[in-house]
Amino acid sequence: MSDDAVQALAIQVQRNAKYAHIAPELIERLVREEIAIRRNAKEVVKNTRRRLHQAGAVYMAGAPPYSHWLADLRAAQGDRERLEAVCRTAMAAHQSSRERLPLLARFYHEVLGDLAPVASVLDLACGLNPLAIPWMPLAPGARYAACDVYTDLAAFLQEALPLLGVEGTAEALDLSARTPDTVAGVALLLKTIPCLEQLDRSAGVRLLHEVRARHLVVSFPMQSLGGRRDRGMPAHYRARFAELVQDQPWAVTEHVYESELVFVIDKGKVPG
C-alpha cells in the first residue's frame, strides 16, 4: 500500500478525539502492521485504535485540562505547598502517577536518594510523572528531558517544566521504534517497558542498552489496570527483568512498593 493510503488511514484513526494527539509516527507504523493482517480498511482502523488504547489512552482519565493546570502552576509560583497541591491534582488524572501519589516522597527519597543531587533526568514514556519533580532530589538548575507519545502532553510539559524549577524539554515520539539520544545522569523508565513491549517485543532490551544514562530506574506495575493487586505480577515481571539484564555486568538494586516493583541499574559499576 502507498504512503498516501497509509496516511489517509492514520488520519481516519485520529478522527476519534482519544487518538487525535498521538504521534503520527506510531499510528502510521501500526497501520502498516495492521494492513498486512486485516481484511479491510475498517478492520485496520479498528485494530489500530485498539492497540493505541492499550498503549496510552487507557491511562488518561478523559481530556486533560492542560491550560487550566498551567494557569494553576503559574499562580502557585513561590508557594511550595500550593505548587505541590496543583501537581498532585494533575497527577491524579493519569493512572500511573495516581498510583504513586500515596508514596511520592518516600518513593523518590529511596529510589534516587543514593544518586542525589541528580543533575539531569531523562523521563521516558513519562505520562504526568514530571509533575513529581518537587519530590525528586534534583540539583539546583537540573536538566529534565521528558518524552511520551502524546503531542498535547509534550506541549503542556514544555511549558510546565520551567514552572517546576528545571531547565526542561519535552518531546512527542514513538519509543517503541526509536531511542532518544539525550545524555542524562538518570533515566526513568517507570512502568514503561510492559507498555512498549506490547507494541514491539524488542523495545525493552533496546532501550536498556541504548539509553545514554549511567543509572536507569526501571519499574513494573504490581496491580492490574483496574487497581486490583495481582499476586502473579511481581514474579512475572521479576522474571522479565532478569531476562532483560541477562549477561550484563550491571549492578542492580531492587525496591518493592505496594503498586510498583523498581530496579535501579548502575551501568558503570560491576556487581559486587
Ligand X SMILES: C[S@@+](CC[C@H](N)C(=O)[O-])C[C@H]1O[C@@H](n2cnc3c(N)ncnc32)[C@H](O)[C@@H]1O
Residue 247's contacts (CB-CB under 8 Å, 6 or more residues apart) are none
Count of positions (residues) in the chain: 272
Could you say whether residue 59 binds ligand X (CB under 6 A)?
yes
Interface residue with ligand X among 13, 31, 55, 131 (CB under 6 A) is 55
Interface residue with ligand X among 129, 237, 262, 265 (CB under 6 A) is 129
d(CA 91, CA 121): 19
Interface residue with ligand X among 127, 130, 180, 204 (CB under 6 A) is 127
- Return the C-alpha cell found at 65: 485540562
Interaction mask 61-90, ligand X, x per CB under 6 A: ------------------------------
Interface residue with ligand X among 125, 160, 216, 222 (CB under 6 A) is 125
Which of 111/196 has CB closer to ligand X?
196
Whether omega before 117 lies within 30 degrees of 0, making that bond cis, reads yes
CB of 199 to ligand X, least distance (A): 5
Q: Looking at residue 36, what DSSP letter applies?
A: T
d(CA 106, CA 104): 6
Residue 155's contacts (CB-CB under 8 Å, 6 or more residues apart) are 66, 170
Interface residue with ligand X among 12, 14, 97, 182 (CB under 6 A) is 97
Pairing label, strands 212-221, 260-266: antiparallel
**HSE (side-chain half, CA atoms, 13 Å) at 258:** 10
Interface residue with ligand X among 96, 120, 182, 259 (CB under 6 A) is 96
Which of 27/73 has CB closer to ligand X?
27
Could you say whether residue 10 binds ligand X (CB under 6 A)?
no
Give the type of residue at 261: L
Could you say whether residue 56 binds ligand X (CB under 6 A)?
yes
Contact 174, 23 (CB under 8 A): yes
> How many residues interact with ligand X (rule CB under 6 A)?
22
Give the type of residue at 72: D
Contact 44, 31 (CB under 8 A): yes
CB of 158 to ligand X, least distance (A): 16
Whether omega before 249 lies within 30 degrees of 0, making that bond cis, reads no
Which of 34/174 has CB closer to ligand X?
174
CB of 56 to ligand X, least distance (A): 3
Residues 224-263 that bind ligand X (CB under 6 A): none
Residue 266's contacts (CB-CB under 8 Å, 6 or more residues apart) are 214, 215, 250, 251, 252, 253
Interface residue with ligand X among 90, 175, 186, 222 (CB under 6 A) is 175
CB of 122 to ligand X, least distance (A): 12
Residues in the site for ligand X, rule: CB under 6 A? 26, 55-56, 59, 96-97, 125-127, 129, 148-150, 174-176, 190-192, 195-196, 199
